[in-house]
Structure 1
């Protein structure tokens, strides 16, 4: 019982906020990882995990029956759910993929701004555990386990300052990764190699052009990044005059 209480205190305790300089250093590291092609090819798997988790979560919340998640070595993935092939539930499920990493980064930034860097990392571990039980292929299992092991190492081995730096870098990586993944989607679509992408499936369901849905993904990602900056105390929230 004492060990459980100590663990709960560790997870729920608040840590001192990073200075703006420290936060920008963490963000710069995340940006370098996203912009440098070799590191992006490796770490993009984490964005794919968040993408497919978004599909899975919204499919479940909208009443569709989740069949499983598959993650592939080329950083693609697929989430299979059963239910009506058309309608609001299917549209919401498709919308959730490219927006999920940005929303995850936004939620992580909110926790960081409140001083819960350790809690944010443990929440991420819990989410990975939920994804793990839905994965249906060996590469997917390996990908989620390696990601989880890295997050666990950060929570267990680093002191609170380093945990906050890592947590900030993770949040920034998800936000910036969401933007890059969406830009890459449009590049592939322009080459005619993504006829079954989320944007194109949404276009067939709604009769709204796929490029509009790509724009929606970009607006969500950019909006989440702006609000996340405010949560971290780096940018002001835009005010609406009334």
Structure 2
């Protein structure tokens, strides 16, 4: 069994760059299929969607902290809902933190894809685990601890048990899954506004409308633009590999 010092050295080595993994077109096609399999069917989304929920609330929390707000509590629930409670006297800061929920799973997904392709796969997984660990002090419900602890444990298992060169492949696949998951979340948001208006109070777009008088549709469009931008960044290395393998 490794000593604590050995485990610490392993984790520290994860932040160093490895050789870029030789990602093939066949692997990418399989990764895209796996991403769809995680994010589209209800059974798999029931579990994988919890990770996008954690990223969503982490987006709110990070935006709040970086805009000078006081972060008070984060709740994550097993039904894929979540709440981040902040305090601020600045309306602009409140709007800023409210906006960054839906785009962040896609932004994180694009970061994983790009890092995976360029030899920073282990570092991206370690950074993700550290970001999740930083929220533990703000979690206020058992489900939140369960979801976050499971995600951190999965990241640590990757870093400790999987060769660094292979983690790049995992980062690419995970990033693609988060990108697909971000699109599914946006589809769900649009569905709330058109078909389940009784749940409007839970919509970030509606909350932003109430805070700014800017219509919810504009905010949804801005969410889509941010998610689309993340997709545009991530798709470049993917398209290069697929075109080379054609």
CA 70–7 in structure 1, closer or farther in 2 if over 3 Å, else same: closer
Which residues in structure 2 correspond to 1:1-242 (within 5 Å)? Answer: 3=6, 7-17=11-21, 18-84=23-89, 87-190=91-194, 191-196=196-201, 197-230=203-236, 232-234=237-239
Count of paired positions: 234
2: CA distance between counterparts of 1:143 and 1:9?
26
SS in 1 for 2:239: coil
Residue 157 of structure 1 and its aligned partner are, at CA, apart by: 1.6
2: CA distance between counterparts of 1:173 and 1:6?
26
* Range with greater deviation from structure 2 (196-205 or 151-160): 151-160
**2:244 alignment partner in structure 1:** none
Q: Are 1:15 and 1:160, in contact at CA under 8 Å, matched by a contact in 2?
A: no
CA 6–146 in structure 1, closer or farther in 2 if over 3 Å, else same: closer
Structure 2 spans left out of the alignment, 5+ residues:
242-246
Question: In the TM superposition, what whole-angstrom CA distance separates every residue of 1:129-148 from its partner, at most 9, and x where no partner exists?
Answer: 11222211111001100111
CA 6–96 in structure 1, closer or farther in 2 if over 3 Å, else same: closer
2: CA distance between counterparts of 1:60 and 1:151?
24
CA RMSD of aligned residues (A): 2.1
Q: Are 2:11 and 2:160, in contact at CA under 8 Å, matched by a contact in 1?
A: no
Structure 1 spans left out of the alignment, 5+ residues:
237-242
Question: In the TM superposition, what whole-angstrom CA distance separates every residue of 1:11-63 from its partner, at most 9, and x where no partner exists?
Answer: 31313322233233222211111111100111111011001011011111111
Q: Are 1:71 and 1:140, in contact at CA under 8 Å, matched by a contact in 2?
A: yes
Runs of 4+ aligned residues of structure 1 deviating over 6 Å after TM superposition are none
Q: TM-score, normalised by structure 1?
A: 0.89
* Range with greater deviation from structure 2 (9-18 or 68-77): 9-18
* Range with greater deviation from structure 2 (156-165 or 31-40): 156-165
Question: In the TM superposition, what whole-angstrom CA distance separates every residue of 1:78-111 from its partner, at most 9, and x where no partner exists?
Answer: 0000112x62111111111111111111222221
CA 137–129 in structure 1, closer or farther in 2 if over 3 Å, else same: same
Q: TM-score, normalised by structure 2?
A: 0.88
1: CA distance between counterparts of 2:13 and 2:76?
35
Q: Are 1:60 and 1:66, in contact at CA under 8 Å, matched by a contact in 2?
A: yes
1: CA distance between counterparts of 2:10 and 2:37?
36
Q: Are 1:45 and 1:75, in contact at CA under 8 Å, matched by a contact in 2?
A: yes
CA 7–146 in structure 1, closer or farther in 2 if over 3 Å, else same: closer
2: CA distance between counterparts of 1:189 and 1:87?
24
2: CA distance between counterparts of 1:67 and 1:128?
16
